[in-house]
Homo-oligomer: A and B are copies of this chain.
Amino acid sequence: MKTQPYRPARPVCILQAGSVTGQKEKQGPLGKCFDLSGDDRFGKETWEKAESEMQRLAVGIALRKAGLRTDEIDALFAGDLINQCTASSYGLLSYRIPFLGLFGACSTCAEGLLMAAIGLGCPAGAMERAVAVTSSHFCSAERQFRFPLEYGGQRPPTAQWTVTGSGAFVLSAVKRDIVRLSEEYVPVIEEVMPGCIVDRGVTDANNMGAAMAPSAADTLERYFKGSGHTPDSFDLIATGDLGREGTAILRDLLEVKGIDITKHHVDCGCMIFSETESDTHAGGSGCGCSAVVLAADLLPNLRRGVLRDILFVGTGALMNPLSLNQGQPIPGIAHLIRIRAVPKREFSHKITEEISHADAP
């Protein structure tokens, strides 16, 4: 396998993002940052339909912010936690955009951005603009993965709370899209590194953080080795949804390898809910968790230049209830995206250079 991360051959920019959440997320520390927060039903009669509606809304918001029509988008990269990823297929049915379905469990946000970077990152490549979107819903996830909500099952301290939310991202490699952005900094996908499946024998479905932490450690270790960077090269290393339990395990696993990320590491699962007030035990989880935190908190901070260079590491647990009943462990996966805030001035300069280079005889 490639030991170095993939660096797109032309700038792939995250133009805009849309974030849609439920009420509990709105009441959390990032509540004010989300574009739209509904009542967990979003006008639909089932939670599954509500989750689809969140995806539809998130994509609509992101496209509107980017000033793009659906027919200007070459591909939708989408996936979710519901069996057969139906939150995506029904939610995005009304958009007539070529659809590429993903399953990366809670790492889907990062997987979608990674695939989009591959598709857009090559001049004369497969596509010019793409949308990556994912979602999760507490109620649809609980009844599918654990217990019917009515059962009122108790949650151990290591359990995480599935975020009700959807994050959508409009990506572009089209120069005029990037040049017309109003912010001072442009979030550009600088590098991506897909993760390997890692199994360390964890079988506790109420401790997903422990199941996913080894894969995050594996991808980060490979990345630092392959890229030559150190944790200090970055303003922030944001994992997707390890929660408090998984965060401690990840830091320990990397410390043993001589890699200290503690100064820069945050976890979206710890950021989205309040440890003292949200009553979510080890923190948030689900595809929607890292997606809405990236969309509503990290990207705006990159656009403002508060963050200049970050690693975003989506984490996922690749199991289902049947596989656990059959005695299988919970393998994890972690996909890494490096996002850099490129000053628009420097960026426009680069574009101009490229144009003149291309025009040269």
Q: State the A residues within 8 Å of B (CB).
A: 1-2, 6, 9, 46, 48-49, 70-75, 79, 81-86, 89-90, 92-93, 96-105, 111, 114-115, 118-119, 121-122, 124-128, 192-197, 199, 318-323, 326, 328, 331, 333
Contacts and interface: CB of A to CB of B under 8 A. Distances in A.
A192 B126 CA distance: 9
B105 A71 contact: no
B98 A101 contact: no
Contacts of A320: 82-84, 86
A124 to B, nearest CB: 6
7 contacts: A46-B326, A48-B323, A83-B84, A92-B197, A97-B196, A100-B115, A121-B122
A72 B84 CA distance: 31
A270 B5 CA distance: 43
Contacts of A124: 9
Contact of A194 (B72, B100, B318): B100
A103 B101 contact: yes
A86 B48 contact: no
Contacts of A97: 1, 196
A75 B319 contact: no
- Which of A82, A93, A111, A195 has the most CB atoms of chain B within a 10 A radius of its CB? A93
- Which of A92, A103, A192, A199 has the most CB atoms of chain B within a 10 A radius of its CB? A103
A316 B321 CA distance: 24
Contact of A93 (B118, B192, B197): B197
Lowest 5 A-B CB distances belong to which pairs?
A122-B122, A89-B318, A98-B194, A84-B320, A101-B103
A197 B89 contact: yes
B103 A326 contact: no
B101 A111 contact: yes
Given A86-B318, A98-B195, A126-B192, 18 more contacts: A1-B72, A2-B128, A9-B125, A48-B322, A48-B323, A82-B322, A83-B83, A83-B84, A83-B320, A84-B103, A90-B323, A93-B199, A98-B194, A98-B196, A101-B318, A102-B103, A115-B115, A118-B118
A319 B84 contact: yes
Nearest to A101: B103
Contacts of A70: 1
A197 B84 CA distance: 14
Given A1-B73, A79-B103, A118-B126, A323 B196 contact: no
A323 B103 CA distance: 18
Contacts of A85: 103, 318
A325 to B, nearest CB: 10
B48 A90 contact: no
